[in-house]
Amino acid sequence: MALFQHRTPLLNSLFMSVSFLGNYATYTVWATLLALRRRVVQAQSLFLVASVAMIVTDLLKHAFDTKRPYLLLNIAPLYPQSAAGAAFPSGHVLVACAVFTFWLLATRVTPRRVIAVSVWVGLLALSRLYLLVHWPIDVCAGAVIGVTLGLLLHAFRSDALRNDALILWVMIIVISVILHKMLVEDSMIHLAFGFSALAAALVATGRAFSGRIRTALRTLGFFVLLASVFVPGMATTLTIPSGILTGIGLDRSQQKSDTLIDS
């Protein structure tokens, strides 16, 4: 934790900003912008990869349940959003590595892109260490697991996933209802399952409807989704209907010409 010994106001602001930009909500906004630009396949891919990575992260955190550094050192965290939850693995790093590994494999890999992604993930990992919310093993494990997850998701991506997504969506709804009945209070679990429900709904129902109705439903669905992101306790309840609205509202007319990610 040598980084902690060199804290300055400038570094505090820098690393807090990096951690904020690496939060889960960023991927939601990113996917929203892609979908509104009619980059439907890109938005769906981003939702799927990020949501699967979030669930894997939460499962591992609850399995290991390790304490964050600032708790053991009895220091108030600089980044209040990280005050809850277990340390292992780093969700910020895991999700980023999964998303960007998938993105690099799905596009033309260039040295410039690899360097840009490496620098961003490196800054994100440093920010988590600097803010004392993770141990070095947390960010290292997050990177390894995230890259592996991105490789696996890219290897298994296909149009057949659309049919499986409908089954996954129903399963997630059932699990979400059970969590509510069990009075599970961890908002991040509800957010992860709600996010996944939206991703599955996007893929499963993305071909229906057309015209102005589709545009209206798409817009309404994403507004509901954004509300759920900033009110995590309502995430599961809100993202299921927003998934339906967004899925049936997305414009699929340009799917054949829609590349996975902008080159």
96-124, pLDDT tens digit by residue?
999 989 888 877 778 888 899 899 999 99
In this prediction, residues 53-60 reach a mean pLDDT of 81
What local confidence, expressed as pLDDT, does residue 259 receive? 42
pTM recorded for the entire structure: 0.62
pLDDT of 152 strictly over 70 = yes
Range from 77-81, 185-189, 246-250 carrying the lowest mean pLDDT: 246-250
What local confidence, expressed as pLDDT, does residue 203 receive? 53
176-186, pLDDT tens digit by residue?
555 555 555 55
Nearest to 187 by CA among 243, 240, 229: 229
Range from 88-97, 181-190, 194-203, 249-258 carrying the lowest mean pLDDT: 249-258
What local confidence, expressed as pLDDT, does residue 202 receive? 55
What local confidence, expressed as pLDDT, does residue 245 receive? 45
User: Cβ distance 96 to 124 under 8 Å?
Assistant: yes
User: What's the per-residue H, E or C state across the chain?
Assistant: CHHHHHCCHHHHHHHHHHHHHCCHHHHHHHHHHHHHCCCHHHHHHHHHHHHHHHHHHHHHHHHHCCCCHHHHCCCCCCCHHHCCCCCCCCHHHHHHHHHHHHHHHHCCCCHHHHHHHHHHHHHHHHHHHHCCCCCHHHHHHHHHHHHHHHHHHHHCCCCCHHHHHHHHHHHHHHHHHHHHHCCCCCHHHHHHHHHHHHHHHHHHCCCCCCHHHHHHHHHHHHHHHHHHHHCHHHHHHHHHHHHHHHHHHCCCCCHHHCCCCCC
222-255, pLDDT tens digit by residue?
555 555 555 544 444 444 444 444 444 443 433 4
CA 110 vs CA 79, 116, 157, 172: distances in Å: 34, 10, 22, 37
Question: Higher confidence at residue 191 or residue 234?
Answer: 191
Banded model confidence at residue 191, pLDDT cuts 50, 70, 90: low
